[in-house]
Chains A and B, each alone.
Chain A
Amino acid sequence: MSVNPELQGRVFPPVAPYLVGREKVREFSRAVFATNPINHDPEAARAAGHEDIVAPPTFAVVVQEATLAQLLAEPDGGIDFTRVVHGDQRFSYTRPIIAGDELTATLAVTSIKSLGGHSMVTAESTIVDAAGAHVVTAISTLVVRGDE
C-alpha cells in the first residue's frame, strides 16, 4: 500500500483541547535539558512578563501528537506507521505556550511528494488558544518508505 495522493489538501477535524499543566511543562523541560528558570519557576516567569511558566520551544509536539495520530489512522491514507521516518520538524510561534493555556490543534496535509520510491508527507498542525487566537503552527515532514 502506498500513500494516498488525495490526502493532499485534506483538513482534519480539530482534536480535543489540550490543557497545558504547569507540572507537565516542568516535566518536559527536565526531559529536554531546559534549565532556564522561566521554564520552571512561576515567579521568574512573571518577572519576565509572562503569566506563568513558559514551555520550551519544542513542547508544541506534545499538542501536535494527537493530530499526527489522526493522520496515521486515516482509513484511506495508506500511511504504514512502521515505514514512517521523521524527516523535518518546524515550530512557528505567534506567542509562546504558557502553563494554563487551553490549546486546540487542527491538522492539514499541505503536501505529498514522491521521491525515489518514498513519499514525503507534510502535515501542518495549527494550534490556537481558548480564544481562537493563533499560538503556534507545528509542521512535520514524514518520510514514508516505499515497498522494497
Chain B
Amino acid sequence: MIPVVTALTIGDVVAEASFALTRDSLVRYAGASGDFNPIHYRDDVAQSVGLPGVLAHGMLTMGLAVQPVVDWAGDPARVLDYQVRFTRPVFVDATAGATVAVVAKVGAVDRETLIARIDLTVTFNGATVLGKAQARVNLA
C-alpha cells in the first residue's frame, strides 16, 4: 500500500482533491484549533480591517491541503515535515462558500533515505493561495 519510491518521477501527480468550504467549516476549525479571530466568522469585523468579507484561517487551508498527501502515503505519520507560505486569502462567501483545489506532485526523491518531497499547488478562484507548499514524506 505504501507508494514505491523508486517508481516516482519528478513531476508525477500523486494526488488531487478539492474541498468545499462553508462558513460552517470555519466555525468548526475555530473551535477545533482555538483560533477565534472574528475575521474568520464575522463580515463586519473583516470589513473593518479592509477585507471584502470573512476569510478562511490560513491554518485551515494548510491543514486540508496536506490530506491528499496523507491518503496517498497511507499514514499521517509519514509526513515528516510540512511547510507553506500564506500568499493569498481564501474568502468564504456566506451562501456560495469557497472551493479550494489541491494538486500534489513529486518535487524531489531521495532514493537513499526513501523520502519524497511532495509539492502542493493550492488554488482558490484560479489563483494560488499557498507558496512553497512542500511536504517531506517518508516512504521507507
Contacts and interface: CB of A to CB of B under 8 A. Distances in A.
A65 B86 CA distance: 18
Contact of B29 (A32, A38, A54): A32
A80 interface: no
Given A31-B31, A32-B60, 20 more contacts: A27-B31, A31-B63, A32-B29, A33-B67, A34-B76, A35-B71, A36-B67, A36-B75, A50-B77, A54-B77, A55-B76, A57-B63, A57-B135, A58-B62, A58-B63, A62-B32, A86-B58, A86-B59, A88-B83, A90-B84
B15 interface: no
A65 B31 CA distance: 13
A34 B67 contact: yes
Contact of B34 (A54, A65, A82): A65
Interface of B: 19, 25, 28-29, 31-35, 49, 58-60, 62-64, 66-67, 70-71, 75-77, 79-86, 132, 135
Would you list the 4 A-B pairs with minimal beta carbon distance, nearest first? A32-B63, A90-B83, A31-B32, A96-B77
Contact of B33 (A50, A57, A61, A82): A61
A31 B60 contact: yes
B59 A58 contact: yes
Contacts of A91: 81-83
| Main secondary structure on A side of the interface with B | mixed
Interface of A: 24, 27-28, 30-36, 38-39, 48, 50, 54-58, 61-62, 65, 82, 85-93, 95-96, 139
A50 B78 CA distance: 12
15 contacts: A31-B31, A31-B60, A32-B63, A36-B70, A50-B77, A54-B75, A54-B77, A57-B79, A62-B34, A85-B86, A86-B58, A86-B86, A88-B132, A89-B62, A92-B80
Contacts of B86: 85-89
Contacts of B84: 88-90
A58 B60 CA distance: 9
Given A31-B33, A57-B66, A57-B82, A36 B71 contact: yes
A38 to B, nearest CB: 5
B83 A54 contact: no
Most buried by A among B49, B58, B76, B84: B76
Contacts of B82: 57-58, 90-91
Contact of A31 (B29, B62, B75): B29
A24 to B, nearest CB: 8
